[in-house]
Amino acid sequence: MHERPLSGVRVLDLTNVLAGPYCSYQLMLLGAEVVKVELPGQGDLARRLGPDPALNGAGLGASFLAQNAGKKSVELDLKDPADRDGFTEMLRGADVLLENFRAGTLGRLGFGWPRLQEINPRLVYCAISGFGQTGPMSQAPAYDQIIQGLSGMMSVTGTPETAPLRVGFPVCDTVGGLAAALHVAAALARRSVTGKGTFLDVSMLEAAISAMGWTVSNYLVSGAAPEPMGDQNATAAPSGTFTAADGPLNIAANQQRQFETLCRLVDRPELATDPRFADREARKRHRGALGQELNTALRRRTAEEWERILTSAGVPAARIATVPQALRLEQLRHRGFLTDLPFPDGSARTVRVTGSGVLHDGEPLRPAAPPPLLGQDNDELPALAARWKGAEIR
């Protein structure tokens, strides 16, 4: 792949922590030039977040390193007249402006959508917030956990005894960032036809509810309120977590043929003709009894053995990995999902970052540079602004 899809696209990134930086990281992987605009002396809050206090103190927290490789960093205070002028010059040549302030904050700083259109009519302006720029909740503060709770996500996570539970990673931030990146790309495609910019108002709450898919649709269509089912799949059985000789095993025999194959391979072919388990609806009604029968049979082998046996026969099955185990999977190495980069401070250590999960013409998208030190590119700001404006004129 000689040129990335967004090569030549210029992104001004005012975001911090996760949803916005995750969006701009995806745009960077796709080829965009991303310049982070950070508050002087402080920078992105994520610079101080992570499990290593020394890195946090150095402004290179793991949370920051994870989502900011390949970007530039300049320090600007939008309340300072001189810095506002510098920001305005960058806006004139920018293709995309990202921010995840509370709704209306950028407008109160003098850069609302009407003013942005005056500065650059071709600008794609993407504002990411918890609830969107309008509505009765637009001014409420929101973090990932708040959105997880309000979206209904926590109510269906866990078992009837343990719910509500938070999903084990900031899923709403991530989904919000992905939604923003998708719509930025779409707005850029539209601009290539119309020549006009777009204002994108991204609501993390709405993106999260949209991503809940069948859980939401089942209620909208059937009126049946979803309930927490732990590790079981409401739409099929056996589909969930079972017990092998050495620990848990996921099996998703969602199709009749897969179920019959599973019964044969665990040496329980009679389960396929048992009236309690003969078809999908019957298995859902008797999933507890079916799970007991399968667990007894599955305890004869390890999870890894069952994974090999079942998957080779077309039955979806796999061990449950820890995060370190998942990152050591040969599949990820084969596809080039992880990239080692020099550490930002010039030390001998490296920083390993993730990719996008998509190959372009058979190649993974990798960042070309490590995450930036705070204000690393301050001295280049006039040259950057001039180059961006020159590119826009051309």
String of DSSP letters for 175-237 = HHHHHHHHHHHHHHHHHHHH---EEEEEEHHHHHHHHTTHHHHHHHHH-PPP---TT--TT-S
Sign, CA torsion 372/121/133/86: positive
Which option is the CATH number for 10-212+332-393: 3.40.50.10540, 3.30.420.40, 3.30.420.480, 3.40.50.300?
Answer: 3.40.50.10540
Q: Are 70 and 369 in contact (CB under 8 A)?
A: yes
How far is it, in rounded angstroms, from Cα 145 to Cα 165? 10
Q: What's the pTM?
A: 0.93
Q: What is the pLDDT of residue 3?
A: 87
174 sits in which H/E element: helix 171-194
Residue 344, C-beta contacts closer than 8 angstroms, at least 6 positions apart: 60, 65, 351, 370, 371, 372, 373, 376
First-last CA distance in the chain:
25
Give all strands (DSSP E) within 104-173, no chain letters.
124-129
In the three-class reduction of DSSP (H, G, I as helix; E, B as strand; rest coil), residue 307 is classed as helix
Q: If 0-12 CB within 10 Å is exposed, 13-18 middle and 19+ buried, where does residue 147 land?
A: buried
DSSP structural state of residue 26 = H
pLDDT of residue 309: 97
Q: What is the pLDDT of residue 152?
A: 95
- What is the pLDDT at residue 387? 92
Q: Which of the 8 DSSP states describes residue 90?
A: H
Domain residues of the chain, as ranges?
10-212+332-393, 239-321
The phi-psi region of residue 24 (left if phi > 0; otherwise alpha if psi is between -120 and 50; otherwise beta) is alpha
What is the reported pLDDT for 159?
Answer: 92
Residue 390, pLDDT score: 79
d(CA 316, CA 324): 22
pLDDT for 392 equals: 61
pLDDT of residue 389: 83
What does the pLDDT profile of the chain (394 residues) look like in tens digits?
A: 578 999 999 999 999 999 999 999 999 999 999 999 999 999 999 999 999 999 999 999 999 999 999 999 999 999 999 999 999 999 999 999 999 999 999 999 999 999 999 999 999 999 999 999 999 999 999 999 999 999 999 999 999 999 999 999 999 999 999 999 999 999 999 999 999 999 999 999 999 999 999 899 999 999 989 999 999 988 899 999 999 999 999 999 999 999 999 999 999 999 999 999 999 999 999 999 999 999 999 999 999 999 999 999 999 999 999 999 999 999 999 999 999 999 999 888 999 999 999 999 999 999 999 999 999 999 999 999 999 987 765 4
Q: What is the pLDDT of residue 178?
A: 97
The domain 239-321 is classified under which CATH number: 3.40.718.10, 3.40.50.1000, 3.30.1540.10, 3.60.15.10? 3.30.1540.10
Question: Which positions ≥6 away from 121 have C-beta within 8 Å?
Answer: 195, 196, 197
> Which residues, 6 or more positions from 314, have their beta carbon under 8 angstroms from its beta carbon?
257, 258, 261
144 catalytically annotated = no
Q: Which residues contact 194 (CB under 8 A, 6 or more apart)?
A: none
Contacts of range 106-113, beta carbons closer than 8 Å, 24 or more positions apart: 106/14, 109/78, 109/79, 109/84, 110/78, 110/84, 111/78, 111/87, 113/199
What's 85's DSSP letter?
A: H
- The helix/strand/coil state of 158 is coil
Write out the E strands in 41-179. Answer: 72-75, 96-99, 124-129
The string over 57-92, giving b where at least 16 C-beta atoms fall within 10 Å of a residue's C-beta and e elsewhere, is eebbbebbbbbbbbbbbbbbbbeeeebbebbbbbbe
Whole-number Å distance between alpha carbons of 238 and 153: 23
Distances in whole angstroms, Cα of residue 377 to Cα of each of 37, 73, 160, 381: 10, 5, 52, 7
Of the candidates 13, 44, 173, 246, the residue annotated as catalytic is: 173
Quote the pLDDT of residue 188: 98
Q: What is the pLDDT of residue 1?
A: 57
